[in-house]
Structure 1
């Protein structure tokens, strides 16, 4: 254990272990991804995809290992009991910092299928990691404002079709499709700029979740609504690496898939979009109240 070392030294060690972990697992991942690329047949995908998932789960387990080695975090977690690693989930969480990814992966790895995040299209060019996300079939999405889509309605259909193609791959083996509904990390400046009606959250954007539910809603066992709270303040990434994430509160609530949202076309039907927006806003109101209660009880 390295808890007694100065924080900057722990941060340096954690960074080196994080990089070493990436450089070890990604080349192995790419070997099997190349096989799938060269032999694009369903039976090959059925054989190779579980191997890719296993590699990713080992990668995440190693991340949890260096986190335990360099950090002394107090975890207050409820709601992860009884989850099924052999089923499909739609996972949604509030988003505050890069540490959110590590928190979700640490707590849910092998409890549910591998988390596959909606990622901004431009992130495919991130060195090494872009290849890893591509190999693991993370859905890359273009994010357009509602104003842009009103001027270019054809883009809504293109984005919808891209998401459906990505989600179609997830129907072959159990998968956890993961989305941050806020679309970006929470900051006070973004909160003020949006004039968000929520105290602790940005406004939710239901598009990614809606397209995933439209594409494969009959597969999902539940929506896992995850709330993450950092009682000592949201950690910057370097603070996280240096062991400054002292306490984390996580609440996971399993919500049923709303059957009325599985019908209709989100891309072309304003009534369907309004129904999704209402559902998302209700969930966000409950999450905002939950975060307030967790801060008050800390």
Structure 2
């Protein structure tokens, strides 16, 4: 609708409206989060959780509407059939850009339970959003370098323990736990340094997936396997607001979780770890082929 505006007007106006939308939604969210913290009554807290998620879903819906108003980006989405708003899902996706997050939010908002991402601990300091993510029970992970672990061996395993603590909160509520399995955004340099066997993907990091399955066990219904494709090239958030992302293709596939992976010791059982990694590698081989198929389909449009 407003994609005709010149770039020097469109981008600042879009950014201003997104910022205003964030302030308008996070203000009541902080009030509800404070009440939830002050009154540790289980029934009251459950009610607060519903309000918090409703505010977050409204924020996402408005942001998605703004992107539709300011851009001509077209979305090709496949595979949403059968997903449930009250399900318990582990959502796995490839990771190419920060644009992945608003795309995933747009595609899944109010179709499955609210997406909760594993975030680096430093992101809690992002103005407004950091506190909002904390209030919404996003799991914050503190990663340690090899040198830090060498100096302080007691830090080993703390990230795993944090994963388990975060997932325990989700066992008794509808949830979609989101994991970018590659652990970082795809670049050609990273692909080359890894000697990745996949054409379009980095190697999957299976450990985080295994720990979520271990922590949540039978509470999960299935894996929601998402393949994100940008036929025009890997975009930035500025590219999105500047209307330089002509199309986004999203393929969704539900996968049953093999029963043997719901109970197992990924950290200490070498045979179990090998089987789990083999399964994840097979999922990633399928994803690489799907990404190639989507690129070919985009080229024939």
Residue 70 of structure 2 is matched in structure 1 by 70
Residue 295 of structure 1 is matched in structure 2 by 295
Note closer, same or farther for the CA distance 1:222–1:139 as it changes in structure 2 (3 Å cut). Answer: same
SS of 2:157's partner is helix
Note closer, same or farther for the CA distance 1:261–1:152 as it changes in structure 2 (3 Å cut). Answer: farther
Residue 246 of structure 2 is matched in structure 1 by 246
Q: CA deviation at 1:161?
A: 1.8
Is 1:83 the counterpart of 2:83? The answer is yes
SS of 2:124's partner is helix
Counting matched residue pairs gives: 298
Output the aligned Cα RMSD.
1.9
**1:1-298 alignment to 2 at 5 Å?**
1-144=1-144, 154-298=154-298
SS of 1:218's partner is helix
Structure 1: state its 5+ residue gaps: none
Preserved CA contact (<8 Å) 1:8 1:242:
no
Q: CA deviation at 1:61?
A: 0.5
Note closer, same or farther for the CA distance 1:203–1:144 as it changes in structure 2 (3 Å cut). Answer: farther
Preserved CA contact (<8 Å) 1:14 1:242:
no
Q: Which moved more, 1:8-17 or 1:21-30?
A: 8-17
Q: Deviations over 1:231-262 (max 9, x none)?
A: 11111111111111110111000000111111
Preserved CA contact (<8 Å) 2:198 2:288:
yes
Preserved CA contact (<8 Å) 1:53 1:136:
yes
> In structure 2, what is the Cα distance between the partners aligned to 1:6 and 1:97?
25
Q: CA deviation at 1:271?
A: 3.0
Q: CA deviation at 1:105?
A: 0.5
Preserved CA contact (<8 Å) 2:164 2:215:
yes
SS of 1:228's partner is strand
> In structure 1, what is the Cα distance between the partners aligned to 2:219 and 2:168?
11
> In structure 1, what is the Cα distance between the partners aligned to 2:65 and 2:126?
24
Q: Which moved more, 1:66-75 or 1:145-154?
A: 145-154
Preserved CA contact (<8 Å) 2:223 2:257:
yes
Preserved CA contact (<8 Å) 2:217 2:263:
no
TM-score when scaled to structure 1?
A: 0.94
Q: Which moved more, 1:133-142 or 1:106-115?
A: 133-142
Q: Deviations over 1:46-84 (max 9, x none)?
A: 121111111100010111110111011111110012210
Q: CA deviation at 1:153?
A: 6.7
TM-score when scaled to structure 2?
A: 0.93
Q: Deviations over 1:121-160 (max 9, x none)?
A: 2211222111011011111112346898799775453222
